[in-house]
Structure 1
Amino acid sequence: MAASPKSPAFDPADPLGVDDLLEPEDLAVRDTVRDWAADRVLPHIAEWYEKGELPGIRDLARELGSLGALGMSLDGYGCAGASAVQYGLACLELEAADSGIRSLVSVQGSLAMYAIHRFGSEEQKQTWLPRMAAGEVIGCFGLTEPDHGSDPAHMRTRAKRDAGGDWVLNGRKMWITNGSVAGVAVVWAQTEEGIRGFVVPTDSPGFSAPEIKHKWSLRASVTSELVLEDVRLPADAVLPEVTGLRGPLSCLTHARYGIVWGSMGAARSSFEAAVEYAKSREQFGRPIGGFQLTQAKLADMAVELHKGILLAHHLGRRMDAGRLRPEQVSFGKLNNVREAIDICRTARTILGANGISLEYPVMRHATNLESVLTYEGTVEMHQLVLGKALTGLDAFR
């Protein structure tokens, strides 16, 4: 009888052996982004978060562009053409540093660039995508409004045709990542034909983007309001290939996919901090990691963390095969963000009072994830998406 192969050693960092599912190119992407984040973000992120700013965002964007991380799953126009799994791994590593950094990349690539790439004219693509892929131009995505978040069909922003063929936009958008540093905004507006997307240079007269301050989440991220007051655009500013909510919702599906991975990065960072703390913190004459209740917490955290990574990997393979459905992305975002927050909160209990200190990443990740939980689809919206898929009955109205 042939001898059975020797089992590999148990790896606490990869208890399910998920790395065995990755190709060498996948691992190279992951390690490149991880090293960049360790060098350029982690030494400074606590200070940025405490001050509520992201200094040098344009330099960071150019560096991310040089890594191929901006619009990385898109083809052509200077984009990397990476796989969905590789893009997901990049999101995980970026959010392990901070959700604000991953949001910068997601909004740039999965919302603004994706909208132009999928629905734009050839001229729009040639004009904007190469510079956005290089990080030379930062983009933002204007969908959410002060009074309309989960119900974008009733947005109040309007675009009307002028007698000369131009478009004139009026309205406001709210909670817009990258808004006040963007060179271009993809803005969705009501028209006589239905909801349309517009490529808006942010130096257009009548366009302004005041930054939103006093946030207690995503503090190391630029968040703005967009104000459009008689913004005049040429006839060819409209995205020609889509009318209706299908346009912005398809962009959101792509961005939500990145969140499925990214949230696990925040969870991993908090979990690793809890493990290291549990091994070094002593109470009652021994490390607290040696007590049963602490080990139970760590075991449960590890189970949910690596189940979430497996789920993200599965959805990535489906996206690469062209078989990923929006309902499956809702499944992933609902589960992974919810579990990531729980992991962060449990990690905080292991660190005790130290868990609220910016010396450790746990509370920063927990507060960031409170935003990730509700942006790009609240818990309730994703529950209703799945409920409709499961029953065939629409409970939205």
Structure 2
Amino acid sequence: MNMKLIEGGVTAAQGFKASGIHCGIRRNTSKNDLSLIVSSTPASAAAVYTTNLVKGAPLTVTKAHIADGKAQAIICNSGNANTCNADGIEIAEGMAALVAEKTGIATNDVAVASTGVIGQPLSLEPIQNGMDELVDKLSENGSCDAALGIMTTDTVPKEVAVEFTCGGKTCRIGGIAKGSGMIHPNMATMLVFITTDCAIAPALLQKALSGDIQNTFNMISIDGDTSTNDMVVVLANGLAQNAEITAQGEDYTAFMQALNTVTVGLCRMIAGDGEGATKLLECQVSGAKTLAVAKTVAKSVICSSLLKAAMFGADANWGRVLCAIGYSGADVDVTKIDVSFRSDKGTITVCENGAGIPFSEEKAKEILLEKEIEILVALNDGEYDSTAWGCDLTYDYVKINGDYRT
């Protein structure tokens, strides 16, 4: 399959424009707080949502609006989650109606998202006042502005796009994401908006997304908290003019590979930009007897606060890896487990057959001082593998969340 990384993020695909502005929801006037993504034509739509029982009103509205498998726009604000508000549905529907009023897109074809503080009233007034500017700024180069508009405690905007071949046609798929805190493996755990000009039926688009997240967004943990608001939405407008994908086969596989390249890229960006984080952690588990075991072990290791703290301190405390595996509930043979740490500075094995071995602490520290650390766990008990992503646990995480609301 021909596939390459390209620029453009959520506007890389044909027919998509985006924008982002500061409308006044956030106190900091230098930060965007309202974003819009629009397709020139109605698109197939699919989404997945947080499993938290406390859900933001925008999720309810988006579910209803894309129930027919179609959408044409996504509006999102940051700075206020629009969750646990008595008039939350009314506000979310109002946001969709404002998009409809200014663009001519049907209200029911607008997905709505919000992120920020929970339980604070959200007024439509600043959004309404900013709509003319938001629509006027829609651009084929607007992906970064939109990415900035959905950020909360993120420190960098997150964009990925690829070009691939499907049905003999050149297609593009790209996305933007926000995610820094309240990230834990229960879909969805962040805001992700993905667009493509590939033609694919809504049912197959939903199947592709629902399948992909099991090995991507469901395998990230920053802090063990599952958010109330977050979702992943994909729009596919078909402007690449490939024969519509309506069944599994070669074209569906090509689309899945392209989608996965985008989602894995965004996963790594989200994990590496965790609140207060200084390092991206990637746990690669191999040799599990089942896929479920591989996933359970990978997530347990990446979720361990003690291990995350050790990685912050560049301490090769491999016992914390074994500890996390031991309480994970996974069916493993501890006497077969090998553990290594790897980075751009090299690889060092610290545990074999479930027991410690001599290794150079100096070399281990050199490896663990890098920005990206791979934790390699070989279970030596089967043929299944899995990967999970996270970050180190630092002093700044507590500082950020100690006064997040005030």
Relative to the length of structure 2, the TM-score reads 0.27
Q: Greater strand share, 1 or 2?
A: 2
